[in-house]
Structure 1
Amino acid sequence: MEEVEVVVAHRERATLRVGEVFLKVDADPARTEVEVAAMALAPVSTPRVLWRRTPVLALAAVPGTALGRLGEPSTTPPGAWAAAGAAVRRLHDAPLPPWPGPDLDDIASNLDRQCEWLTAHDVLPADLVARNREVAGAALREWTPVFTHGDLQSSHVFVHGDEVTGVIDWSEASQGDALFDLAILTLGHEEHLEAVVEGYGSPVDLDVVRGWWSWRSLTAVQWLLGHGFDPFAPGCEVDVLAARR
């Protein structure tokens, strides 16, 4: 008999695995609608939709293993990271999805709010927050929008050898900054950035990538703490911020 595995669970959503089927339960049906629409448009391998009955989306498992996981050393070979970069480039070269992405003013305002919260509640040293706020500023500029995944963590990219076999979790997909995707893919795995950029195949402003690393880590800490995750775990968000000192 198949067992039920809780992949992730918090107040906003939960994902369960039963054999080769993933059941995603989301409190916001709009996120599920985006996920289904984005997978239909994306020019890369995505999970097959089995059925949908709000608030549950059933997806088939994709083959392969995760490219990496935040907080864990990645043993995946450089060729797989390069293949991931090439897959991201195919996505970014595709026609834009018909829905917009985050507004730059909102992105900047969110950063300011989170930095204020982190210092006001003594969650992180003020100098660490200030330094990373400065680094994050490089990302806060106008960009030409592309089709972005929006939450392209290394654990959302599956590979077999040097081949990408699937990309999962598309609920944040939208028009956005190409370098944001590259930054989230390599968050906590800075040593693989060169291989990703090589596979991506075009010049990348590394200061912007580093800016998005700082932005993502600064803006994630409060949410992570409030939903039962530990950004202070080795190799996770706080260590990413400390590396920018």
Structure 2
Amino acid sequence: MDEVSVVVAHSERATLRVGDVFLKVDADRARIDREVEAMALAPVPTPKVLWREPPVLAISAVPGTVLDRLGRPSTASSAAWAAAGAAVRKLHDAPVPPWPGRGGQSLDELTADLDSECERLVADGVLPADLVARNRQVAEAALRPWTPVFTHGDLHIAHVFVDDDKLTGIIDWSEAGQGDALRDLATMTLGHRERLADVVAGYGTDVDLDVIRAWWSLRTLLGVRWLIEHGYDPFTPGGEVDVLKASM
């Protein structure tokens, strides 16, 4: 019998792997419905939906290996990163889904959330005030109007699979929907900023590098406390806190 392994588990949802089948457990039925619809609409390789019985969604494994790992030196080729960038561009050029994705709040709401989070990070002693202030300054460039596109919403490199320098699949579409294109690119290159040029080479034009760098800071400032509260360690070498320190 195939062994059951826990891929990820926190208070919002959990994913188990049994052989080549992934079981996603999510109490939010609407989120599962949106994830299935997003995979059907996305013009890039995605996992195959095997069955759905809320709150469980069963999907197939995708071939290949993850593009890279956060906190480890990059081992993937420039061609693999460029292929990932080209796939993301194809996604962003597709018709926009009718629902907001991750970060779908208004510009005013996003700014208020960021300022509140920065205050709490300092007040709770999670991060030094100068580190937070510097990254809040950098993040300002991302706080501008943008045209919504079809975004993945959580385009972590562990969600991107490649084989022989070709993209074979993108997984975990639970946060997909309308969003800022440059947030996706920033998420994928978070912790591997040396790969940004490869991604942009595959993605093509219309990329403001300053905004991507701003999203590195913004996304990380918003995520540090969430990671801690859900059992993750953003202080591991090469992790989120090191991303913030790199902007100093």
> Under TM normalisation by the shorter chain, which class is it?
over 0.9
Aligned to 2:216: 213
Out of 136, 155, 159, which is 1:152 matched to? Answer: 155
- After TM superposition, list the pairs within 5 Å mapping 1:1-245 onto structure 2: 1-101=1-101, 102-103=104-105, 104-245=107-248
Matched letter for residue 115 of structure 2: D
Partner Cα separation in structure 2 for residue 191 and residue 4 of structure 1: 36
Aligned-residue offset at 1:164 = 0.4
Aligned-residue offset at 1:68 = 1.2
Q: Deviations over 1:166-185 (max 9, x none)?
A: 00000111111110000000
Aligned-residue offset at 1:105 = 2.1
Task: Give the RMSD, CA atoms, in angstroms.
Answer: 0.8
Aligned-residue offset at 1:205 = 0.8
Aligned-residue offset at 1:27 = 2.3
Aligned-residue offset at 1:161 = 1.3
Partner Cα separation in structure 2 for residue 192 and residue 203 of structure 1: 17
> SS at the partner of 1:35?
helix
Q: Deviations over 1:70-113 (max 9, x none)?
A: 11222010100000000000000000001134122222121111
Matched letter for residue 7 of structure 1: V
Aligned-residue offset at 1:15 = 0.5
Partner Cα separation in structure 1 for residue 72 and residue 179 of structure 2: 28
Q: Deviations over 1:23-73 (max 9, x none)?
A: 000122222111101001000000000001111000000000000121122
Partner Cα separation in structure 2 for residue 69 and residue 171 of structure 1: 20
Aligned-residue offset at 1:237 = 0.6
Partner Cα separation in structure 2 for residue 34 and residue 242 of structure 1: 35
Aligned-residue offset at 1:136 = 0.5
Partner Cα separation in structure 2 for residue 57 and residue 209 of structure 1: 33
> SS at the partner of 1:123?
coil
Matched pairs, number: 245
* Structure 1 runs of 4+ with >3 Å offset: none
Matched letter for residue 77 of structure 2: P
Gaps of at least 5 residues in structure 2 are none
Aligned-residue offset at 1:122 = 1.1
Matched letter for residue 241 of structure 1: L
Gaps of at least 5 residues in structure 1 are none
